[in-house]
Amino acid sequence: MKGQPTYSLILAVAVASLLLTGCRPAIKSNSNNTTGLTTNAAAPSDEELQILLDDTLQWTLDHRELTIRDHAAWQILHGALAYQRDFLVVTEGGQKVSAVDYVINEGFMRGWTMQPGVWLDKAQTRRGLKAILEPGSKAGQGHADQWFAVLAQSHLSPDQVLKVHGRDFTMADYVAQVQNDLPYNVDQEYSWTLIGLTTYLPTDATWEAGDGQQWSVEKLVQIEAEHELSESACGGTHRLIGMSMALNRHLAAGHELTGSWKTADEIIAQAILDARKYQNDDGSFSTNYVQRTGRSADLATNLGATGHVLEFLTLAMTDEELKQPWVKRSVAHLSGLFQKTKKLPLECGALYHAAHGLALYRSRVYGEHRFIHESIAESISADEPLPTDVPDLPNE
């Protein structure tokens, strides 16, 4: 995969101003359920918590509406993180379609900027697929391999076709490009990279990257483990999530805890202890994540911090550990925050990371459950895919 020829972008999207509206409710709630924990409240019963979880996740899917007109990829794909291919987006024509299937079939979405990558074979018949990094934009990909991780968690198969500039690529092409580009991640932020690569590759995989050097999944784990969590995005929870998912797959494959894997395991174990140590008496987690105590009167800040920490815990703890009262209290508190903020616009990253944490907890503790948008629930069974039709839209 050495030597990438110059390639000019076919598609240039010029946007004079971008409406980055919050993830506001589309309609008023008819629900009178305002269940939530008060300070020092006891953990709810298992049955009460499951009902609260299902109500919270279903309402959020049904009523927090995102549109192609008003929202960008950064916001929309955070929704897909929580609900995968079942997350709907409203197109310019008013259709509600699967956001993931819409964008991989070349439906226009501001911030979804992809281009052909390096040649993957000597005959130059296959190219990688490259996502353009737009740090800080809150429209495009804000972190290296962020889109890659979202699609991987949406359970796209290696042969899933992604249409870009009128050409067909596959997730396997995307994987190969990510492997090639590892040396060019100047911030050495491989949190999302680990999530994606360990979805498609064994954790003992090695390969030659674009710098001609040998890389491996364990090398990425080592780099992640060497970073200070307090200096990382969202209190280091993304690094913890990436390492946790990689470690889970490593152990599931029967590998031992040696080298960087052992170091990562120790960091994760300490972070779990710290999350509990700094937990507030109302069940929320510290607004300083796993570094020190902290609380805020701002509901959105609490939702973001507690959501990110819970998301990590659901991936790092065992099924039995997740049933402990202190974890259940955090789940109930977070669900209560969703109930209290139903009528408020919320920042999409915090909102949908929190929803993802709740969905993961629901799956781990109570079993898999598919949430289907109320607008199509009567016309589709739980075994059917959601609508994927992509209307012809101008790229402007």
What does the DSSP assignment read for 58-107?
A: HHHHHHB--BTTT--HHHHHHHHHHHGGG-EEE-TTS-EEEHHHHHHTT-
Contact 65, 363 (CB under 8 A): no
Query: Is residue 80 pLDDT above 70, yes or no?
Result: yes
In a domain, 84, yes or no: no
Neighbour-count burial for 357-366, b at 16+ CB within 10 Å, e otherwise: bbbbbbebbe
* DSSP annotation string for 315-347: HHS-TTGGGSHHHHHHHHHHHHHHHHTTTS---
Rg, C-alpha atoms of the chain? 21
The upper half-sphere exposure of residue 274, i.e. CA atoms within 13 Å in the direction of its Cβ, equals 23
In a domain, 361, yes or no: no
Q: What is the pLDDT of residues 97-130, one digit of tens each?
A: 999 999 999 999 999 999 999 999 999 999 999 9
Of the given ranges (37-51, 120-134, 347-361), which has the lowest mean pLDDT?
37-51
In a domain, 355, yes or no: no
In a domain, 19, yes or no: no
pLDDT band for 30, please (50, 70, 90 cuts): very low
> Rounded to 10 degrees, what is the CA torsion of 88, 90, 95, 98?
-20
The pLDDT of residue 378 is 74
Collect all residues with Cβ–Cβ distance below 8 Å to 213 and sequence separation of at least 6.
Answer: 183
Of 186, 214, 242, at which residue does a domain stop? 214
In a domain, 335, yes or no: yes
The pLDDT of residue 377 is 80
User: Do 340 and 235 sit in the same domain of this protein?
Assistant: yes
Of the given ranges (30-39, 196-205, 344-353), which has the lowest mean pLDDT?
30-39
What mean pLDDT do residues 230-243 have? Answer: 96
User: Do 291 and 334 sit in the same domain of this protein?
Assistant: yes
User: Do 241 and 334 sit in the same domain of this protein?
Assistant: yes
Of 346, 361, 383, at which residue does a domain stop? 346
User: Do 258 and 174 sit in the same domain of this protein?
Assistant: no
Mean pLDDT, the chain, rounded, equals 88
User: Do 161 and 243 sit in the same domain of this protein?
Assistant: no
Which domain, by its residues, includes 203?
113-214
Between 2 and 211, the higher pLDDT residue:
211
The pLDDT of residue 136 is 84
In a domain, 291, yes or no: yes
Instruction: Compute φ and ψ for 249, nearest 5 degrees.
Output: -70, -35
Between 11 and 227, the higher pLDDT residue:
227
Contact 26, 67 (CB under 8 A): no
Percent with pLDDT over 90 in the chain: 81
The pLDDT of residue 27 is 41
CA angle 101, 104, 107 (to 5 degrees): 85
What mean pLDDT do residues 309-318 have? Answer: 98
Looking at the DSSP assignment, which residues form a beta bridge with residue 129? 116
Query: Is residue 7 pLDDT above 90, yes or no?
Result: no
In a domain, 391, yes or no: no
> What is the separation, in whole angstroms, between the first and last Cα of the chain?
33
Helix ranges (H only) for the chain are 46-63, 73-83, 99-104, 146-153, 171-181, 191-200, 217-226, 237-252, 259-277, 299-316, 325-340, 348-366
What mean pLDDT do residues 375-381 have? Answer: 76
User: Do 186 and 258 sit in the same domain of this protein?
Assistant: no
pLDDT band for 326, please (50, 70, 90 cuts): very high
In a domain, 62, yes or no: no
User: Do 247 and 293 sit in the same domain of this protein?
Assistant: yes
Query: Is residue 350 pLDDT above 90, yes or no?
Result: yes
Q: How far is CA 192 from CA 62, 197, 232, 299, 332, in A?
A: 28, 9, 13, 27, 28
Collect all residues with Cβ–Cβ distance below 8 Å to 160 and sequence separation of at least 6.
Answer: 104, 170, 171
The pLDDT of residue 33 is 37
Of the given ranges (3-12, 80-89, 231-240, 297-306), which has the lowest mean pLDDT?
3-12
pLDDT band for 293, please (50, 70, 90 cuts): very high
The pLDDT of residue 10 is 27
DSSP 3-state assignment of 148?
helix
User: Do 209 and 235 sit in the same domain of this protein?
Assistant: no
Q: Give the C-alpha separation, 194 to 217, whole Å.
A: 7
Query: Is residue 1 pLDDT above 50, yes or no?
Result: no
Of 156, 182, 214, at which residue does a domain stop? 214
Q: Give the C-alpha separation, 313 to 331, whole Å.
A: 11
Percent with pLDDT over 70 in the chain: 86
Query: Is residue 31 pLDDT above 50, yes or no?
Result: no
The count of domains in the chain is: 2
Helix pair angle (237-252, 299-316), 10° resolution: 20
User: Do 254 and 202 sit in the same domain of this protein?
Assistant: no
Token pair for residue 370?
């598919």
pLDDT band for 39, please (50, 70, 90 cuts): very low
Contact 98, 387 (CB under 8 A): yes
The pLDDT of residue 385 is 60
Which helix (H) or strand (E) covers residue 263, if one does?
helix 259-277
The pLDDT of residue 379 is 72
CA angle 384, 193, 152 (to 5 degrees): 5
pTM to 2 decimals? 0.87
pLDDT band for 204, please (50, 70, 90 cuts): very high
DSSP 3-state assignment of 11?
coil
Token pair for residue 242?
């990436």
Query: Is residue 37 pLDDT above 90, yes or no?
Result: no
Token pair for residue 26?
């589309």
Which helix (H) or strand (E) covers residue 129, if one does?
strand 127-131
Q: Looking at this protein, which amino acid is placed at residue 142?
A: G
User: Do 198 and 234 sit in the same domain of this protein?
Assistant: no
DSSP 3-state assignment of 296?
coil
The pLDDT of residue 263 is 98
User: Do 167 and 262 sit in the same domain of this protein?
Assistant: no
User: Do 239 and 333 sit in the same domain of this protein?
Assistant: yes
Query: Is residue 94 pLDDT above 50, yes or no?
Result: yes
